[in-house]
Structure 1
């Protein structure tokens, strides 16, 4: 979760993952917010539930309200006990009455919905006698995001049949047959019945493709296409990895230059990870590459100075790096990445491989088990692949003997 400064949060409020709270926002007792973005200057009461939603600026959500997978624009007021079902969009300055339930996928605005016109030109030039519905007696200022006042006429114009008692707004209707497609354009999760339909359709398509494959005669052309497709997928994956690594490097360098906190860098890297569909190991490798590149590009005149650069960078960003090493597998991948760097882009680091690996071990970044597993995996490799294992032989032997020495001391 990311929280801006100058916010007021109750100690009993609960915040789930992937949540952002903007400046000047207050959250009352026992409210629960998860997977949501809350803008600036919002007032959220007690016992409020917000899930998977985007709440813009200066929004008031009173006690006991429930909002799931909705978009709420600036200046909206959701009165106590109101419920926004998944897919709802509330436009600027709308007021939802107490205990009112806004149906799923509804769009609510301060303005009445224009009726269907034969053409855009008719809609543009329609006069008061045309089929365009008149605008309700709401001031234009009230309909804009910067407006501060909703006219009294607007507040009294709507009854409970629209958006609840004391509410202000019109629920726009969906054209005939349109509601069936609303879920496609919503922030709400795909409805269970639609998901079942999609899954069934996919299974049917796969079954048909298998049947078609069985009746097709063996063909070299078919096999060639399959191989070409696999090659294309491999190239796409390779390109994604390169772009991802560059994005992470740019993010890391900006964090160094602007002194950005590690927690915020983690948020940015996580967003890149989701965008490129990468793993923790990919993130760790990209961050390690960025750290080593920074150490190399930092002025130095000897190997010892370069080693000090590496130690300084690794110590400064240890928390960020360690975040993406949840298991031994990721640690082993980083060692393999280090080998790759030393052989390709960072050959200047090659003579320092074992010293840097030992340093990472002493900083509890790389565990003993990861180093020994890496060495074990290299036992059957070609001699060319054992360069850094041989360079680290003394470290590996020391790690192997360390448990024996500890047990002897205990005896």
Structure 2
């Protein structure tokens, strides 16, 4: 039987050969941001909530139906190859992992040129680094890329982006990355401009007259996060081969293509919303993404749904994860969002909060640990105190020693008895290299093992190493690396420690400044389409407020779990309000919603216990609402928000509305005048809108009578 008119034979699809989807995974970060740790172990093999970073990336690629992965490794290549050879990934059906090794590449550009020479890519492929965590559904982005390719062969790349914290202060708090500016065509999603502050961009974005003349409809963003997940055509590899000055994927390749008028190649964007994707670029993003994993934003890639049974953990109340064979004293206190690894022991009266403990760790009595990442086989003796630090495998802290916030202890370092390690210090058994290459792309020690023998170094007098041994106290062992004045000024930006108060205020003031868009020869201005000119639909405004509300909730919960000062939370909320251009009342209702949700999520077994939870939360955090309740109307907005919560399906607040209203009145959150005005406004409303006013009749009557007595 012949084909239908205008179509292909019915069995044509069956005759087409299957083309497997491939991925290139760069197992080298080509940076020094994780020194001194990465002098001994490759970044992709570092534990992230007790699972290797590369396992998250490979697990996502497998879930996205990628069939062949080519892992490029250079620094510490033997460690990576050995790990993968013993991993479960070599045994997965329909999923092959092949390593490509080179000891000479010094950049991502060099890696892609070598892969091109191997001729292993013959179609579209995914380009990703082995320090990326994602759970996004890839199909839609892939389909969009293929559809564009059919219409335009110059559409060589699709970058995955995500709505980010739209202000500098919250971005620095979350990922420690530089502020990123993108210009995107709002209709086609083509990327037109890409710049970050690392390129000396200081709050001003300058667009050339010719650029604006060629692009009559543009959308300027500083609220997008680059996920570093790219869908590429095979031409991308040949472009690197043709241009040897392309070293960095973004700074050289992306920006190079955007300004190249001759070849006409195009890059497009695909924005994800509910999905998760982020790259571990520095210690701060390591901290943030670890918290996201523990709080299950990355589901199904979470601790209780692990990649192997050997390190799986059980989820308990309050976000606590416990692996097997743990020995814990009855008097020890394990706080919220904490992971305790297999075979670890915890002594009496020890407190562990918001931390990850690896396998085989020995923690003594009267130890205080907060916001730390303690890897495998670490020993912490009695009376130690440590906050917001990273301790690599084999570290020993002798009794009564202290780690100030931001400390990094590399492998097998020993901190002496009673010794206090200063803030932001980095200690290693390896001496500090004196002469570091100025190129950001380099991260190399010994290519085979990564370990520089200290004895050989000292005997040979290698001029590239610093030999000043800093005493780590009685019985201590290791070098404390010095920090230059320039690096010290920026150390807080990439640290696992909370941002210092002085820097937080500085960031907030910067966030208040409006972004300036300067046009060279300013007689030409961008012509924006209706959406960009401010005529947003009701749905778009509603969606934006929902995003704002989620941002406020995340900010509030971080403040609760990390015990952030109220003033710091208010600074972040103010920054978000300015970024979204919303009113004070929006902040009040969003914060109130976050508090009530926290009380609802806190375990309770009766309505009375729920009211007690609300009382505890409001007593502790109610002061956050005060700056945003400037008048009666603001307080009424909070009451209306509470009504909305009570009307949600299955919400437990409806039966206790009156009790909580009375509590808010007693705590001076809602004033008498606001409650009476709220009741008056409901007088002529439909019966369905008067449910909670009727429920509160006796309380409202009491307020009226009290008011009359005062008069």
* Larger relative contact order (CA 8 Å, sep ≥ 6): 2
Looking at CA atoms only, which structure, 1 or 2, has the larger radius of gyration? Answer: 1
TM-score relative to the length of structure 2:
0.32
TM-score relative to the length of structure 1:
0.49
Higher strand share: 2
